[in-house]
Amino acid sequence: MGMINIIIDGQKTAVSEGTTILQAATELGIKIPTLCHHPDQAVKANCRICVVEVDGYGTLVPSCAFPVFEGMNVKTHSPKVRSARMHLLELILARHAQDCLHCKRSGHCELQTVCEDMHFVKTPRYPYVARSNEIDDSSPSIVRTESKCIACGRCEYACTKVQTVDAIAKANRGFHVKYAPSYGRPLVQSTCVNCGQCAQACPTGALTSNDNTDRVWGALGKKLVVAQVAPSVRINIAEALGEAPGTISPGRLVTAMKRVGFDLVFDTDFSADLTIMEEGTELLGRIKNGGVLPMITSCSPGWIKFCETFYPDFIPNLSTCKSPQGMFGALIKTYYADKIGKAPEDIFSVSVMPCTAKKFEAIRPELGRDGYSDIDVVVTVQELSRMIRAAGIDFKNLPETEFDKPFGLGSGAGEIFGATGGVMEAALRTVYEVVTGETLANVEFEAVRGFDGIKEATVSIGGTDVKVAIAHGLGNARKLMDALRSGEASYHFIEIMACPGGCIGGGGNPIKDWKKMDARLEAVYRHDKELPLRKSHENPAIKAIYEEFLGEPNGHKSHELLHTYYTDRSNLLK
């Protein structure tokens, strides 16, 4: 590919053929404001806030979509450009709600940032006319606030192109354009799988996670508030509080939560290890006894709902294991409640998760018994970071505190659940040693790691070649499931995560791009190496709970508490 010589704001540079003006300016350290542009999405050129002046062109051009050419002379902040951008901002703000002070995205809103960077301090000439006053909070996971939408199209791209769910689409034209579920349905009646990737893509507060922090604040000091913390939370919480992506902070996280007021903070790595014991045993049973294959993991509730909606014929292939959240919730309200002499209703069980779909999972009727839910509230990484800030806690300078016992010990196998391929690798570490009776020389299964959309591997276990596949992001899951449905592909074991990158890319995390994801992924495997235990079946806390309470993996008690069933939701497609 050849190099092209251009001039941007008087600076001469050479860039590769096919480079856009926006990319070339960024390489020179020149910041051009953007709103509809997203580094992980295709170019849309909807908002036009990135327009620039190019010599020889009578009109301004969108820098995000305009490729460079030899000898091009670009002005990114000329009076003509600045006037046009200011006018565009006025038009955008004429349709955008003015409630920044109590918006969930305040301080992290891209529209707010553009206004600040452009020093937009004047009163807009156009009166504010709300796009719509509709607030759709029907979903337990996502809230859609129409008045804050800027019609950039990023949510539609995430939902349609990346996740292939098609729960949100463009409707109407011109002044009345909006992005919403089809036929005027609320989100809860759409094909939405609660993954939250639309909220991750949204530049404003038009799509946000359904905030449950008020319920937690209301329980603190009134009930025994017990929290479980997912593996990827310790990877992402420091980032949410202003530190570099990939900063690992389990000890400071526990300290912060105790200072907020949580009575007990447990480690979901423990129930991830428990999941491996149950799921690994289930897989071995299916292989030996002619059960339904391939067996597909059930840890990702967004994937589970996707399967229930689009591929209900594969429900028998899903592992019957609850997710680590579901298993932990059941143990807290049964085994642990009995252990400390508390009635289940006297314990307020909180899950801290990277995932907005966990909010939906928590209210599934099968995750509870005797009229109560195993998990009372799910809060995301974003929500917990707001609670920590509200409590005036200086997270960066906190001392370390260990997770509470008896559920404070998890292995590296549990930790890597946070990354795509992690559940598969954790299962292989255990299944290999259980079947062969041999110690793995190398516990790191490199073939199942990384961000390739679909990964395949064949692992020899006790003389049997076990074919496995991993997919992350529901667009990739759809490709894999279509191949299975048509008979083009055949496996023994499949891991699917709804979110691109796995849990470290979940909808409830700090807003991401793939550069941040690289740092998060590196942190997951670094933390795995740092932990004293790296295999689920070697965790003494896991051994103890089977000896004391559960009996054996896939036994009667385990099936009663740790396994579940699924529901055909294909009616949502009608």
- Distance of alpha carbon 491 from alpha carbon 538, whole angstroms: 27
| Encoded tokens for 72 | 């091009």
* Maximum CA extent, the chain: 80
- Distance of alpha carbon 516 from alpha carbon 526, whole angstroms: 15
Q: Does the N-terminal peptide bond of residue 124 adopt cis geometry, omega within 30 degrees of 0?
A: no
Structurally, what CATH architecture does the domain formed by 123-209 represent? 2-Layer Sandwich (3.30)
CA dihedral 72, 75, 76, 78 (to 10 degrees): -160
Residue from 53, 146, 279, 495 carrying the catalytic annotation: 279
Residue from 156, 232, 503, 536 carrying the catalytic annotation: 503
Nearest to 358 by CA among 327, 386, 315: 327
Is 288 an annotated catalytic residue?
A: no
Is 31 an annotated catalytic residue?
A: no
Look at residue 441 in the predicted model and tell me its pLDDT: 84
- Distance of alpha carbon 152 from alpha carbon 146, whole angstroms: 13
Residue from 104, 305, 358, 535 carrying the catalytic annotation: 358
Structurally, what CATH architecture does the domain formed by 214-573 represent? 3-Layer(aba) Sandwich (3.40)
Residue from 152, 155, 192, 299 carrying the catalytic annotation: 299
Nearest to 216 by CA among 412, 418, 38, 383: 383
Q: How many CB atoms lie within 10 A of CB 517?
A: 22
| Encoded tokens for 560 | 């009663």
- Distance of alpha carbon 559 from alpha carbon 277, whole angstroms: 12
* 3-class DSSP assignment, residue 72: coil
Is 538 an annotated catalytic residue?
A: no
| Encoded tokens for 22 | 């926006």
CATH number of this structure's domain 3-93, picked from the four choices 3.40.50.300, 3.10.20.740, 3.40.720.10, 2.40.40.20: 3.10.20.740
Domain ranges of the chain: 3-93, 123-209, 214-573
- Distance of alpha carbon 415 from alpha carbon 536, whole angstroms: 10
Is 366 an annotated catalytic residue?
A: yes
Residue from 110, 278, 361, 415 carrying the catalytic annotation: 361
Is 321 an annotated catalytic residue?
A: no
Split the chain (574 residues) into runs of 10 and give each run's mean pLDDT.
92 95 96 96 95 96 97 97 95 91 93 94 85 93 96 97 96 88 93 98 97 97 96 97 96 98 97 96 94 97 98 98 97 96 96 98 92 95 98 97 90 92 94 91 92 94 92 98 96 97 97 93 94 91 95 95 96 90
> 247-277: b or e for each residue (b if 16 or more CB lie within 10 Å)?
bbbbebbbbbbbebebbbbbbbbbbbbbbbb
Is 361 an annotated catalytic residue?
A: yes
Nearest to 413 by CA among 438, 451, 440: 440
Residue from 232, 319, 351, 536 carrying the catalytic annotation: 319
Look at residue 27 in the predicted model and tell me its pLDDT: 95
Specify the DSSP element, H or E, that contains 4: strand 3-8
Specify the pTM: 0.95
Is 345 an annotated catalytic residue?
A: no
Look at residue 1 in the predicted model and tell me its pLDDT: 65
Q: Are 386 and 342 in contact (CB under 8 A)?
A: no
Is 115 an annotated catalytic residue?
A: no
Residue from 110, 282, 415, 495 carrying the catalytic annotation: 282
Whether the domain at 3-93 and the domain at 123-209 fall into the same CATH topology: no
